[in-house]
Amino acid sequence: MPAHPRIPNPHEGALQLFAYDLRELGEGKASVTWIAEHEETTVSKAALYAALSGTRLPKRETVSTLLRWWAGDPTVEDRELDEYYSEPVWSWINRLPRDHEGRRLADQWRARYQRLARDVVGKRRVGPRAARVDIAVPPEQQDFIKELKDLIGKTGLEDELWLLLGSFSFRVERYLGGESIPTDESCWALTERLASFVPSLDRLDVARRLMLSAEVARAARVRDRRIAREGRTA
């Protein structure tokens, strides 16, 4: 591993520990310089090195790029799915063979990164909280809910959510009721569960559409809350 990034101290918090462990994962594997210069890499070398220093939260594209070479193996990916490479960020995981160890490892790292991101963002928001406002479910979130309902309907178990989803059904009921929006991690988990009942579902395509739809829905809620607050203070 090149010595460019500052060596993080794993005892100085979750961000430093994440960078330290990521650095360890890359020992003896493709170098950062080689990855940065690869034709498929869209992240700068500086960003890749910064992710290994633990000084700030790296973008998910950066973490995914490193993991693609250090946890996965691009040489065995299913190239028939190349059109999905750039979006979503983690689509390369599903391009790996079903029995590839990189799938499990990458999923673990993805979940760990998402937890870290939530913790870091949460700490940044410590301070006076914005005024709470009530908003209607935005049209974009309604579109997400419809898409999710349609997918559940394909199983024929829309009236038996517990049978279909087990304990996950409580969260799904909140999604369907417009009370919350799933994370990328939850979209993947939901897709896998639905696909186990409907084998013909294209897991990658379904997860991709759900994540994009959920992302748009979250942005719409942020927009509508901002508009509501501005109206309240006007």
Ranges of H-type helices in 99-202: 101-124, 139-153, 161-165, 169-176, 184-197
Give, in order, the Cα–Cα distances in Å from 129 to each of 11, 124, 125.
30, 11, 8
pLDDT > 70 fraction of the chain, expressed in percent and rounded: 88
Question: What is the structure's pLDDT at 132?
Answer: 72
The confidence band for 88, taking pLDDT boundaries of 50, 70 and 90, is low
Q: How far apart are CA 127 and CA 18, in angstroms?
A: 25
Q: Which two tokens stand for residue 139?
A: 């049209």
How far apart CA 224 and CA 234 sit, in angstroms, is: 15
3-state class (DSSP) for residue 233 = helix
Regarding pTM above 0.85, the answer is: no
Distance CA 171, CA 168 (A): 6
